[in-house]
């Protein structure tokens, strides 16, 4: 993987140069001048912005090393189940008061069920609640084995999006940016739409959507940086209202050489369907500062 190593070194060099104003100016000239544009793209390879998720996936395909289904990806997620991450506290804050009304949770892109285990440390699940995860087959196979070993009877796995129909809570944590279809389009297909939606740990921007690559060292994954306002507007058209939003400061996404497209902190959003009467609670300034 010499090429991947060269791209990584170039990306680090570009990141360093881009920390200075004069460096940003020189990089922008290098990126845009006709004589150097192709050379720049050749040097940075897949560490750049793309017009679509499909274009980004094509660029990184030979270097992805399995991407989402890399064994280390599952291990990384399972290793997080013992404690909540900072951005989870906002999610827990809004889930706790509605918990008595929650019978079915659908966890879209929930890997091997790590979020179920993590939240179990902080919440007491009502009798009869089921937490259903949809992810790639290899990740769910590991999840099913771990659930059997741990006796997690409330945790289930499915490969069918239609199983989200009638869910009380739709969880899209750390996965929205990997979806090939707009979330609003997927929800619009359901006969009974979720009462609540939790979106968390998602790179979002106030600018135009853009695709890029997350280089995690031993594997690489294409993802979308969505426009936050557009995501919210699309869900509002389905009769959802935003209860609150927050920043996941523990995560960021840098596109080397493009500071204006980079995301310094991921985003979380909690939404309620208009016809659902939920408790009117909001995080205090002190709670928000602790995230």
The larger pLDDT score, comparing residue 291 to residue 110, is at: 110
Report how far apart, in Å, the C-alpha atoms of 205 and of each of 5, 51, 209, 242, 252 are.
Answer: 29, 15, 7, 17, 12
Tokens for 46?
Answer: 């897949």
Tokens for 289?
Answer: 């500062």
The larger pLDDT score, comparing residue 70 to residue 147, is at: 147
Decide the pairing of beta strands 130-134 and 104-108.
parallel
CATH 3.40.50.150 residue spans of the chain:
53-290
Give the three-state DSSP class for 47: coil
pLDDT digits (tens, 9 = 90+) for 143-188: 999 999 999 999 999 999 999 999 999 999 999 999 999 999 999 9
Distance CA 272, CA 137 (A): 30
The CATH number that domain 53-290 falls under is: 3.40.50.150
pLDDT digits (tens, 9 = 90+) for 120-138: 999 999 989 999 999 999 8
């Amino acid at each position: 993987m010499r090429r991947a190593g060269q791209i990584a070194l170039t990306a680090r060099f570009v990141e360093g140069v881009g920390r200075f104003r004069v460096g940003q100016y020189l990089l922008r000239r290098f990126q845009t001048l006709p004589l150097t544009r192709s050379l720049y793209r050749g040097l940075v390879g897949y560490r750049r912005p793309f017009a679509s998720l499909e274009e980004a996936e094509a660029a990184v395909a030979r270097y992805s090393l399995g991407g989402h289904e890399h064994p280390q990806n599952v291990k990384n997620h399972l290793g997080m189940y013992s404690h909540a991450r900072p951005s989870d506290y906002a999610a827990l804050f809004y889930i706790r008061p509605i918990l008595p009304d929650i019978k079915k949770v659908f966890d879209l892109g929930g890997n091997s069920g790590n979020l179920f285990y993590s939240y179990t440390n902080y919440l007491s699940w009502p009798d009869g609640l089921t937490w259903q995860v949809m992810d790639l087959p290899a990740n769910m196979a590991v999840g099913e084995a771990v659930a059997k070993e741990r006796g997690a009877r409330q945790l289930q796995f499915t490969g069918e999006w239609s199983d989200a129909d009638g869910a009380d809570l739709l969880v899209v944590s750390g996965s929205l940016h990997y979806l090939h279809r707009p979330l609003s389009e997927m929800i619009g297909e359901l006969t009974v739409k979720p009462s609540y939606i939790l979106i968390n740990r998602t790179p979002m921007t106030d600018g135009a959507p853009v695709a890029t690559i997350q280089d995690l060292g031993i594997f690489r994954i294409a993802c979308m940086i969505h426009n936050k306002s557009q995501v919210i507007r699309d869900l509002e058209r389905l009769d959802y209202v935003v209860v609150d939003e927050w920043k996941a400061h523990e995560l960021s996404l840098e596109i080397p050489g493009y500071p204006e497209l980079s995301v310094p902190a991921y985003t979380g959003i909690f939404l309620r369907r208009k016809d659902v009467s939920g408790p009117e609670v909001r995080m205090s300034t002190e709670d928000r500062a602790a995230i």
